[in-house]
Amino acid sequence: MNAFKEERNKIRDTLQNILGRLSFILDVWTSPSCIPFLGITVHWISQDWKLKELLLDFVKLSGPHSGENLYESFVRCIIVCTTDNATNNDTLMSALETTCQEKGINFTAYNNHIRCMAHVINLAAQDALSSLKVGYVESEDEILNQNKEIVDVIPKLCKLVVKILAFPQRRKKFAHQCEAANLPDKELVLNVRTRWNSTYSMIKQSCELREALD
């Protein structure tokens, strides 16, 4: 507890001494056990023109992922916010604008809300990948319990990667096969829905380790 208080005081002092304005990034993540968390990071440019960042909070959310609920968790820290395109973030920005205007802070939902470019690119890429019948794994059990035959190349590779990564014994055996084939000591990569380039990484890594996979 003492270490936490010391670190919190350091962060408070650091932020109070920043001469410029701050930018915040926030996102809501739901764990596999269906527990929602809100992550908040702060970013700024130091006096020697270096980009700095800090994790401010990672809090468990209670109630729905509504803009009002996110606002209650976030209102204590502000100025520029980067979010994904979820509509609840529009509600959050509107609530922040109202509060800031009441406190005389120059903040508007139009000028101080940045749409995450990585998220926009991800949505466009996902739309393109859907035409290639790229499947994503929500859980290992989901794909391990599939009984139907998989005929498309990428879903077939995805299932193979899951079958190897899901069991320590298979991971170890795969590592031995890589060693026997004089291949790099690398683990396979699994594609995930929120990272469009993970499909590329999965294919690239699998090609490099193809001899062990065969």
What is the per-residue pLDDT across 65-100, written as a single tens digit (0 to 9) for each? 555 555 554 554 455 778 888 888 888 888 888 888
Per-residue pLDDT at 2 exceeds 50: yes
- pLDDT confidence of residue 150: 45
pLDDT, tens digit (0-9, with 9 covering 90-100), for 160-194:
888 888 888 888 888 888 888 888 888 888 877 77
Q: So what's the pLDDT on residue 68?
A: 57
User: Closest by alpha carbon to 22, among 97, 77, 75, 94?
Assistant: 77
Least confident of 11-15, 36-40, 54-58, 114-118: 11-15
**pLDDT confidence of 3, banded at 50, 70, 90?**
confident
* pLDDT score at 71: 54
Instruction: State percent of the chain over pLDDT 90.
Output: 0
| pLDDT confidence band for 146 (50 / 70 / 90) | low
Mean of the per-residue pLDDT values of the chain: 77
State residue 151's pLDDT score.
Answer: 47
Which two three-digit tokens encode residue 20? 């410029």
pLDDT attached to residue 73: 46
Average pLDDT over residues 38-66: 81
148 within 8 A of 138, measured Cβ to Cβ: no
| Residue type at position 62 | S
At 135, the pLDDT band (50, 70, 90 cuts) reads low
What pLDDT is attached to residue 79? 59
Q: How far is CA 86 from the centre of its chain?
A: 14
What per-residue confidence (pLDDT) applies to 74?
A: 52
pLDDT at site 76: 44
pLDDT of residue 4: 77
Contacts 24+ apart (CB under 8 A), 89-95: 89/113, 91/66, 91/67, 92/67, 92/68, 93/67, 94/67, 95/67, 95/68, 95/71
